[in-house]
Amino acid sequence: MKRRTIIQASLVLLLVLFGAGLYRIGKGFDLLVDNKTITIEDRTYRATSTVRVSVDGGEPIELMKRDRDVISVVGYSHVIRVEELDMDDEVVRSVEKTFRLDRNSGDLLSIPALLGGEEAWIVIRNP
C-alpha cells in the first residue's frame, strides 16, 4: 500500500512538473518589432532604412522607417534575423541573434538598437 502511495504522490508531482513544462513551452509572447529611433541610456540609435525581420525562421515582415509591428512567438528562446534593405530592396546587411525572454524582460524589440550593437535592445514598452 505504501508503495502505491509513493507512486501516486510522485505521479501528482510529475503532473505538476509536466504542467510547469507545458507552461514553459507553450508560453506565448506578443512582441513589438520597432524600427524607430530610440534612446537607451543616453545612446541614440537612428532608424536609417527599411528592414526585413523574421523570428525563428517564420514569415518575414518588412518595416519601413518609423514602422512597428507585432509578432507572436511561443516559447522563451528565439532567433531573430534582421536584414537591412537599400532602396532597391537588396539586402545590405544581415544580422542574426539569439535571445531569451522571461517574465521581466520587455516586449519591445528595437531593431535600430539591435543593429547598433546595443546589449539591451529588448526594452520594456512605455505604457
How far apart, in whole angstroms, are the C-alpha atoms of residue 113 and residue 51? 13
Q: How far is the CB of 58 from other proteins (least distance, A)?
A: 14
Q: Is the dihedral angle over the CA atoms 11, 15, 16, 21 positive or is it negative?
A: positive
Q: Which residues, 6 or more positions from 115, have their beta carbon under 8 angstroms from its beta carbon?
A: 45, 51, 82, 84, 93, 95
| Residue 74 or 91 having the CB closest to other proteins | 74
First to last CA, the chain: 57
Q: How far is the CB of 79 from other proteins (least distance, A)?
A: 18
Q: Which three cell numbers stand for residue 73?
A: 512567438
Q: Which three cell numbers stand for residue 47?
A: 532608424
| Residue 63 or 101 having the CB closest to other proteins | 101
Contact set with other proteins (CB under 8 A) = 3-4, 7-8, 11, 15, 18-19, 22-23, 25-30, 72, 74
| Residue 40 or 73 having the CB closest to other proteins | 73
Q: How far is the CB of 80 from other proteins (least distance, A)?
A: 18
Q: Using the 8-state DSSP alphabet, how is residue 57 labeled? A: T
Q: How far is the CB of 91 from other proteins (least distance, A)?
A: 31
